[in-house]
Homo-oligomer: A and B are copies of this chain.
Amino acid sequence: CSSTTPITATLFPGDGIGPEIAESVKKVFTTAGVPIDWEEHFVGTEIDPRTQSFLTWESLESVRRNKVGLKGPMATPIGKGHRSLNLTLRKELNLYANVRPCYSLPGYKTRYDDVNLITIRENTEGEYSGLEHQVVRGVVESLKIITRQASLRVAEYAFHYAKTHGRERVSAIHKANIMQKTDGLFLKCCREVAEKYPEITYEEVVIDNCCMMLVKNPALFDVLVMPNLYGDIISDLCAGLVGGLGLTPSCNIGEDGVALAEAVHGSAPDIAGKNLANPTALLLSGVMMLRHLKLNEQAEQIHRAIVNTIAEGKYRTADLGGSSTTTDFTKAICDHL
């Protein structure tokens, strides 16, 4: 319980189960004595012309100012004329890398018990350019964009991550045998960065083969870095290996030192407000945020409490085969602190 001046962090509780799991995080963090003041922002009910989405300008300003935040699930309201909330955040805050550690949780059995990998996804371009076009009726095209700048910065992030986290290998995932120019440029950038990190083993794996290897033997991988769409696919695949998006944290890294940790699962409107949601992904994302803030002691302590509570098995939410409420599960974690 250090008594430093508190750090201000933005909190997006999000929709659906978001507020309940955000409540859980606040409870656990307070119990652990984490020196954080939350600045809460909800998704607006009208389109903010300055963001072209339901995200308010103020909420984006809050992240820009605090440079650190935690985000629950946000369902994009149906309708035309506005942008996806998640994509708006990535674009407006220039969140160029999405980091997802994926490891087997002791005591939570899946078909795999040897998973310990990190996917690092380029988060701003590729098939997510938003550029699409109907050539003639019945013929449409989408543009995939790869730039040297975005590829270098995510590669740099991946190698730096590997080096500072005691990782030994970086695998660049691609389909350059088909997309020689786009994925070829991505690989070229990865190779350039790899040369600056001779202590890290570098390899290139074609995405189809990568997926096959991941389901056969995920222990073959360590850190994976890849363009946007492959990252979207492979990070979910990896989450599946260890139990799903309800158990895996993520953190988005932005250009000016911004870090926005995020639970990437859905907002589960069917169970919203029923005290049934599993807060683990948001809690573990919160732990990533603490590590980013170098609050390593509290991060470790909270991480251990979460893992031990799940391993013990006495308090588990329904998605993990238990019958605990969100509040009981949260209390159990606090008791472990």
Binding site for B on A (CB under 8 A): 84, 110-112, 127-128, 132-134, 137-149, 175, 177-182, 184-185, 207-209, 211-216, 229, 232-237, 239-241, 243-245
Known: A140-B145, A145-B139, A181-B142. A215 touches B237 (CB 8 A): yes
* Nearest CB in chain B: distance from A266 CB, A: 9
The 6 A-B residue pairs with the shortest CB-CB distance, nearest first, are A138-B148, A212-B240, A132-B181, A215-B240, A208-B236, A211-B237
The CA-CA distance from A149 to B111 in the complex, in Å, is 41
Hey, which chain B residues are within 8 Å of A140, CB to CB? Answer: 145-147, 181-182, 184-185
The CA-CA distance from A245 to B206 in the complex, in Å, is 14
The CA-CA distance from A153 to B79 in the complex, in Å, is 31
CB atoms of A127 and B181 under 8 A apart: no
Hey, which chain B residues are within 8 Å of A132, CB to CB? Answer: 179-182
Hey, which chain B residues are within 8 Å of A229, CB to CB? Answer: 175, 178
CB atoms of B185 and A211 under 8 A apart: no
Hey, which chain B residues are within 8 Å of A232, CB to CB? Answer: 175, 207-208
Hey, which chain B residues are within 8 Å of A182, CB to CB? Answer: 132, 140-142
Give the residue of B110, B177, B207, B211 whose beta carbon is less than 8 angstroms from that of A240: B211
CB atoms of A144 and B144 under 8 A apart: yes
The CA-CA distance from A265 to B124 in the complex, in Å, is 33
List the B residue with the shortest CB-CB distance to A228.
B178
CB atoms of A215 and B241 under 8 A apart: yes
Subset of 20 A-B contacts with CB under 8 Å = A111-B112, A127-B144, A127-B175, A132-B180, A137-B148, A138-B147, A139-B148, A140-B145, A140-B146, A141-B144, A141-B182, A142-B144, A142-B179, A142-B181, A207-B233, A211-B240, A212-B237, A214-B240, A233-B233, A237-B237
CB atoms of B143 and A141 under 8 A apart: yes
CB atoms of B216 and A236 under 8 A apart: no
Hey, which chain B residues are within 8 Å of A144, CB to CB? Answer: 127, 141-144
* Nearest CB in chain B: distance from A245 CB, A: 7
Hey, which chain B residues are within 8 Å of A111, CB to CB? Answer: 111-112, 215
The CA-CA distance from A134 to B146 in the complex, in Å, is 10
* Nearest CB in chain B: distance from A249 CB, A: 15
* Nearest CB in chain B: distance from A117 CB, A: 14
CB atoms of B212 and A181 under 8 A apart: no
Give the residue of B127, B145, B149, B209 whose beta carbon is less than 8 angstroms from that of A236: B209
The CA-CA distance from A239 to B137 in the complex, in Å, is 36
Hey, which chain B residues are within 8 Å of A147, CB to CB? Answer: 138-140
List the B residue with the shortest CB-CB distance to A84.
B177
The CA-CA distance from A141 to B209 in the complex, in Å, is 23
The winner among A133, A144, A184, A215 for most chain B CB atoms within 10 A is A215
If A142-B181, A214-B240 are given as contacts, then 4 extra A-B residue pairs at C-beta distance below 8 Å, sorted by A number, are: A111-B111, A139-B145, A207-B233, A211-B234
